[in-house]
Structure 1
Amino acid sequence: MDATALKDRAEAWLRADPDADTVAELREVLARGDLADLADRFAADLEFGTAGMRGVLGAGSNRMNRAVVRRTSAGLARYLKATVPDVTRRGVVVGRDGRRLSAEFAEDTASVLAAEGIPAHVFPGLVPTPLVAFATLHLGAAAGVIVTASHNPPEYNGYKVYWGNGAQIIPPHDKGIAAEIARVGPADQLRLLPPDAARAQGLWTDLTDAIGEAYLEAISRLRVHGRGSDALRIVYTAMHGVGGVWMERALARAGFRHVHPVAEQHQTDGTFPTVRFPNPEEPGAMDLSIATARRVDADLVLAHDPDADRLAVMVRGEEGALRMLTGNEVGVLLGHYLLAEGRGDGRTPYVVTTIVSSTQLGDIASQLGAAYDEVLTGFKWIANRAIARERDEGVRFVFGYEEAIGYCVGTATRDKDGIGAALVFADLAAWCEANGKTVLGYLEEIQRVYGLYVSGQRNFTFPGAEGVQTMARIMESMRGAFPERLGDWRVTRILDYLPGGKLPPSNVLAFEVEGGGRVTARPSGTEPKIKYYFELKETLAPGEPVRAARVRAEARLQQFIDAFLAFARERGQPEVGA
């Protein structure tokens, strides 16, 4: 797009922008003649996909702002009216987190829906993402919207959509909504029904705490042990997000008497003053949790991201040191606990994970008589696959997880739920305590029976349009030269997910190796990165200490990673962005 076209788009945007702040921001960009900034803001539109949309706050079609939110809400409303015959009876749930402009975006969303004749069921205060997923099902709504940017930095916000089944949208709904958004006119031409007028017409309902109580009751029923603990010391961090009050209420009613919030991160604050990147997996994000855990001599640390849909866990390790569990370890612990100790109802239990997560859950499911699936990366695929198998085969969904610390226990929600998962993990820890063992001791029991699985990940960043082309070349080059060996490992099977089949088409390659292990390659769908996921299985010798086996396994894993990256470099992978 040339300079004239960019300026014309910016001027047209100014005329339609309903927000004085973003108008002033864009006028300043135009005044200084910053064409690179204009191109970043207007050369494309913020893309609406299967997770809704997420972007940097600011003026322009490629930013998160009130004009974009209003047009998106109008497109969503019109798609719902075209595809859901009773949408004007069922309505749409609307919630928000504590980020900058979340309140304005949520009000705009509800006001546009109401103007389109669709009742808005609005949470008047801050709520975690899992509560919106729950409310969509609980109220029988046609859809749900949560204004959140999850664990992104503070300059971001986002707009996430659930379908009436409580799960994130998947094709064809994502493309259908995007097409309707593209047909929406300028933001200043959209009609809004203000909150008071919408309430008067029965098109705006302020949800009460009864929904929250129903949610807390639903997740309390997910527990297996169910007796809490008078001794277990738990540290919890909300990471400046909206999970704090909900996690405290859930743990208190479950009988956990010693819960210590990380005070510096407990209050909601969309600027995230103690962390640059509010994701428990990021280096340094757990430092305050570790300090609090040391001060109170905690047995367990539970951490949420700001919208409380992800969960990180730390436990006491060897010699009393705190150890962060990997996403796969938490998934294996929860999966085994729920299958081995949970109550059945005669139906076949069912667990599901993703093609980049550990294969150990599949081995556990096989030996414990459970059905099992692997789906594409993203919780939308986990939830929708579970719904389909429940409907078509009568299985009982028990648990789903992805290695990026996302977990769903049971069917209270149909998306990852950090609060429900944290409550069940605390239940697991209390069960371990009652049986005279530690969480790590329980994990070692699992590893002795099913094998010690170790995993790793390597990411390479390629920004801009040129980066997208580089990643495409790397993937195509690897497809053109399948290796027979990766160092000491014989390749036994290669899976190419691009043509589709049992799973939707996806630009992913997996190389399985002899002895139990694989590496999976995929370009990220949300970041300019190509990601490689590695896993190897190590068998423990009789009586061998798990620590010794882990040292051996980690050394072998590093050799495996080095061997694959050498192959990737041969296929054009540059030595950048690691």
Structure 2
Amino acid sequence: MTPEQWIAHDPDPVTAAELARCDPDELSARFAHPLSFGTAGLRGPLRGGPDAMNLAVVLRATWAVAQVLTRHGHGGSPVIVGRDARHGSSQFAVATAEVLAAQGFSVLLLPDPVPTPVVAFAVRQIGAAAGIQITASHNPPTDNGYKVYVEGGMQVAAPVDREIETAMTAAPFADRIARSPVQPADTGVVGSYIERAAHIRRSAGTLRVALTPLHGVGGAVAVETLRRAGFTDVHCVASQFSPDPDFPTVAFPNPEEPGATDAVLALAADVGADIAIALDPDADRCAVGIPTPAGWRMLSGNETGWLLGDYILSRTPVPGAVASTVVSSRMLAAIAAYYGAPYVETLTGFKWLARADADLPGAALIYAYEEAIGYCVDPDAVRDKDGISAAVLICDLAAMRKEQGASLLDALDELARRHGVHESALVSRDVAGAAEAADLMRRLRAHPPQQMAGFDLTTIDLLNHPGRLRSDVLIFGGSGGDMSVRVVVRPSGTEPKIKFYLEVRCPASTNLRDGRQRAAALRDELVSAVRRW
């Protein structure tokens, strides 16, 4: 399709006019690389053209989804459509529902903005063929996205995502795609989700919680879920509680970013909270802050992942399978071995983690996490990361520890003594684009580092892996004496970056502080080394 044809058939006069004002170079750039399915769907800036999020792209993507669902025998089946509160989300959700309805599907269009896990839950609960959530998760306010769930409430994965992408290239002009009106319906899905998430609590006890939804859609649902779980002493960051698509109080609406959790940590200190919780804007991720003798600090995604994994396995009579990704800490594997539970390592992303038990007959998934603060603590209900249910469970663990006169910090110490000190770090290197990223990966493959920080290294290239782990990922590892090091290198799937995931493991000495200092010093050596690669 030529730019002129796209503009002539753009159903949104605003983006049509915007494209018409573009100079030839800008117009050519916008049509050079259409949006492709990445993290379970589409994500990009809000503007005109096939390389961005706009009404025309949403209509064509939904037409393609409808064709693929029908081809797979799901024609006429129920499909859930939800949205967050970002710019454009309401318009995109309505358009999505109307295209699906015109294609003969039974569409449930949720009436209000909802956390992304609610849509994953609804697909599974209702037995829908698919679910679509309009969201850009923790991206900047200038972005939006289109996330696709398939049967079982799992993120779409290969080869279906490629089928949808291919179908998009054959989609009609956007203004010629049929649409049928759909009335939003409140079927009690949100209430059912809240009830289920509240009941994953395993112990008793009270806790004072400081909470922020970072201007996203998780605030009211999280507070009500915590209340039903028995956590009534919840203090919220007032300036960040209501949904606001401009995210005015944070530079970047991601709890992992420096400064993003400053307000909730300050509130936690002011009110004497026991724990701080920060949800990302669509509430599928959860960051945790704890008080320490040196003041409040945020736990890393791995630390929270260890705590939740150990807690779930310790309370499960017959251990099920647990999973984490190739870039996450190795400690969960040690925790699983301690409890005699199957452990699965997957590629990065919950489209893989949700299917971690696919080849484990008789061992259903009970927990999965990735280091980017994503946790699946109730896979029978939500086969995706879920920040709200994770918040309930980490509060539950903190309340139990408080009843015992201990803390989450004590729990981390116990894990380190049992499984060794694990110190990790993430180093990101900006690249100009995919070509520069590919060049760096080629160079590392051709001349892999032989030694680092005094350790002889071996190399594992997942491009040579015969199974599900085959990917553009390099793993460098080495050990010596009682310590081991590991560096995982991969191009980012969503940003122009190469990412280096580092971890050092050493046994806990009688003096845990000395063991951590030793591991941290070696970790810092690794950071310096990979920056020179």
For this structure pair, what is the TM-score category when the shorter chain's length is used for normalisation? over 0.9
Map 1:46-125 onto structure 2 (within 5 A). Answer: 46-83=35-72, 85-88=73-76, 90-125=77-112
What secondary structure does 1:100 align onto? coil
Q: TM-score, normalised to structure 2's length?
A: 0.96
The CA deviation at 1:504 is 4.2
Indicate if the aligned counterparts of 1:49 and 1:175 stay in contact, CA closer than 8 A: no
Q: Does 161-170 or 41-50 show the bigger shift?
A: 41-50
Indicate the structure with greater helix content.
Answer: 1
- 2:171 pairs, out of 184, 193, 196, with 184
Map 1:529-568 onto structure 2 (within 5 A). Answer: 529-542=497-510, 544=511, 546-566=512-532, 568=533
Aligned to 1:498: 463
Aligned to 2:370: 402
The CA deviation at 1:36 is 3.5
Q: Does 290-299 or 233-242 show the bigger shift?
A: 290-299
- 1:249 pairs, out of 206, 217, 224, with 224
- 2:310 pairs, out of 320, 336, 350, with 336
The CA deviation at 1:158 is 0.2
Aligned to 1:43: 32
- Paired with 1:308 and 1:192, the residues of 2 have a C-alpha distance of 30
The CA deviation at 1:26 is 2.1
Letter in 1 for 2:429: F
Q: Structure 1 residue 510 and structure 2 residue 442: aligned? A: no
Q: TM-score, normalised to structure 1's length?
A: 0.89
Letter in 1 for 2:197: I
- Paired with 2:448 and 2:260, the residues of 1 have a C-alpha distance of 39
The CA deviation at 1:50 is 4.9
- 1:213 pairs, out of 191, 196, 211, with 191
Aligned to 1:457: 426
The CA deviation at 1:27 is 2.8
Aligned to 2:351: 380
Indicate if the aligned counterparts of 2:198 and 2:226 stay in contact, CA closer than 8 A: no
Q: Structure 1 residue 22 and structure 2 residue 5: aligned? A: no
- Paired with 1:41 and 1:483, the residues of 2 have a C-alpha distance of 39
Indicate if the aligned counterparts of 2:195 and 2:228 stay in contact, CA closer than 8 A: no
- Paired with 1:481 and 1:289, the residues of 2 have a C-alpha distance of 45
The CA deviation at 1:42 is 1.7
The CA deviation at 1:500 is 3.0
Aligned to 2:393: 424
The CA deviation at 1:279 is 0.1
Letter in 2 for 1:505: R
What secondary structure does 2:467 align onto? coil
- 1:10 pairs, out of 3, 8, 12, with 3
Aligned to 1:368: 339
- 1:469 pairs, out of 418, 428, 435, with 435
- Paired with 2:224 and 2:376, the residues of 1 have a C-alpha distance of 19
- 2:257 pairs, out of 276, 279, 282, with 282
Aligned to 1:269: 244
Aligned to 1:314: 289
Indicate if the aligned counterparts of 2:38 and 2:493 stay in contact, CA closer than 8 A: no
- Paired with 1:181 and 1:120, the residues of 2 have a C-alpha distance of 21
The CA deviation at 1:509 is 0.3
Indicate if the aligned counterparts of 1:379 and 1:415 stay in contact, CA closer than 8 A: yes
Aligned to 1:224: 202
- Paired with 1:163 and 1:500, the residues of 2 have a C-alpha distance of 27
The CA deviation at 1:228 is 4.5
What secondary structure does 2:136 align onto? coil
The CA deviation at 1:154 is 0.4
What secondary structure does 2:269 align onto? helix
Q: Structure 1 residue 132 and structure 2 residue 119: aligned? A: yes
The answer for unaligned runs of 5 or more in structure 1 is 1-7, 200-204, 569-578
Indicate if the aligned counterparts of 1:224 and 1:343 stay in contact, CA closer than 8 A: no
Aligned to 1:415: 384
What secondary structure does 2:464 align onto? coil
Letter in 1 for 2:394: F
- Paired with 1:102 and 1:384, the residues of 2 have a C-alpha distance of 29
What secondary structure does 2:128 align onto? coil
Q: Where do 4+ consecutive residues of structure 1 move more than 6 Å?
A: none
